[in-house]
Structure 1
Amino acid sequence: MQLQAESNPALNTVTAYGERFIEINAVSYEHAVYFAPEGPVNTWQVHSIADINGTSLQEIAGVEKRKLDPLDFLDGRTGLSKADDAPEVLLIGTGQTQHFLPSHITQPLLDIGIGVETMSTYAAARTYNILMSEGRRVVAALLPLEQK
């Protein structure tokens, strides 16, 4: 399905998707990818929902572990820190259908103010394009669709 007739070459835009591919700026990918509005389209080293873990989400979001102060728990701080340009939301496209991730995987990002939304890859692609066009700081991580 073609999403847009034109794309802004300065911004990563999902231009189409279909069975077993995702097209970003008219370049087709047949593997999982993650990307922000600006910068490269990266290969995401997951092949299924079962491969997604907290470390992979933290890498995509640009979150780093920091040395934990023994008294951080008093302020509810975790051992994670985010950059000033960290995404507001991380969209996870889980293939043909929506699959929810366990809270122990998403909670560390939620605790530092990064929203995590899981939805079908179709919905994630459309949502990403809308948020990106609004100038929001968003990162999409998309699993390809399974063949019917």
Structure 2
Amino acid sequence: MQLQSESNPALNTVTAYGPDYIEINEVPYGHAVYFAPEGEIHQWMVETIGDIDTGALRQVAGLEDSKPDPMAFLDGGANASRPADAPEVLLVGTGLKQHLLASHVTQPLLRLGVGIEAMSTEAAARTYNILMSEGRRVVVALLPNKEIA
């Protein structure tokens, strides 16, 4: 009996990665990218870990910028609910090595119920492919595998 994993060719899949590229659906990209299982592959205007801020993460998650509610303190610090179009988890591939993101950068999305995981680009690509194949609402942002000084 031949065992073969089922895949949906309509879904964005990381098919390879190397020192200076990330390959999605067998198309190589030499710059940072972000994408979800369905839709376009977007260039991410981030070159280093230091360029990643809350706005960059909101862009990847597809969340519109919103001004903070000046009356939010009345809710006693209760977490806002995750917007219907927001992903369950946002994976960030940080290059050759894992670099953690600052809490002040991730907290606004965490408060909305969007999980954020930072890991090496290779680990993020593998994790994305698994979560995507399970039908999870995941988005991934990947920096190329370049050594960050």
Q: 1:28 to 1:134 in 2, by over 3 A?
A: same
Gaps of 5+ in 2: none
Corresponding letter in the other structure for 2:35: F
2:12 is equivalent to residue 21 of structure 1: no
Match of 1:132 in 2: 132
Gaps of 5+ in 1: none
Give percent identity, aligned residues only: 65
Corresponding letter in the other structure for 1:32: A
Q: 1:77 to 1:45 in 2, by over 3 A?
A: farther
1:1-148 aligned at under 5 Å gives the runs 8-66=8-66, 68-75=68-75, 76=77, 83-146=83-146
Check whether the contact 1:15–1:26 (CA below 8 A) recurs between aligned residues: yes
Q: How many residues are aligned here?
A: 142
How does the TM-score come out when normalised to structure 1? 0.87
Q: 1:30 to 1:67 in 2, by over 3 A?
A: closer
Cα offset for 1:64? Answer: 2.2
Corresponding residue SS for 1:64: coil
Q: Which moved more, 1:67-76 or 1:9-18?
A: 67-76
Q: 1:100 to 1:82 in 2, by over 3 A?
A: same
CA RMSD in angstroms comes to 2.2
Cα offset for 1:69? Answer: 4.2
Q: 1:67 to 1:107 in 2, by over 3 A?
A: closer
In the alignment, the residues of structure 2 paired with residue 77 and residue 47 of structure 1 have an alpha-carbon distance, to the nearest angstrom, of 34
Check whether the contact 2:58–2:65 (CA below 8 A) recurs between aligned residues: no
In the alignment, the residues of structure 2 paired with residue 23 and residue 70 of structure 1 have an alpha-carbon distance, to the nearest angstrom, of 43
Corresponding letter in the other structure for 1:55: G
